[in-house]
Amino acid sequence: MSTSVKHREFVAEPMGEKLVTAIAGIGETYGKKLEDKGYDKAYVLLGQFLLLKKDEELFVDWLKEEIGIGANHGKSTAACLREWTEQFM
């Protein structure tokens, strides 16, 4: 799977206070839906990913249920968070 520029930029540095929309697969629409549910920062969404034990399939299913994300966007988001955790945790 090739990665987007957004993905490469996100995994290239510590997360800090980045908005949830900095994560690959999360644009304005999905970002707003996540923010409305309290997932405003990238690290908050990472916490959910970690709660699901970094299981990408479970995480994508959770995103589908919570915000109606499409499969491709969900997989991009999960891959982005997985790679970030591999680099920084």
Residue 5 pLDDT level (bands cut at 50, 70, 90): very high
Which residues does 34 contact at the CB level (< 8 Å), separation at least 6? 20, 26, 40, 45, 66, 67
Give the pLDDT mean for 3-25. Answer: 96
Residue 35's identity, in one-letter code, is E
Amino acid 63: pLDDT: 98
Give the pLDDT mean for 47-72. Answer: 98
Percent of the chain predicted with pLDDT > 90: 97
Give the pLDDT mean for 44-70. Answer: 98
User: What is the model's pTM?
Assistant: 0.95
Please, are residues 69 and 30 in contact by the beta-carbon 8 Å criterion? yes
Amino acid 3: pLDDT: 84
Residue 29's identity, in one-letter code, is T
**How many domains, the chain?**
1
List, in sequence order, every residue forming a beta bridge with 41; answer none if it has no partner: 19
Using the predicted structure, report yes or no on whether residue 1 has a pLDDT greater than 90.
Answer: no
Residue 37 sits in a domain whose CATH number is: 1.10.150.40
d(CA 54, CA 17): 21
Domain span holding position 50: 5-88
d(CA 2, CA 38): 30
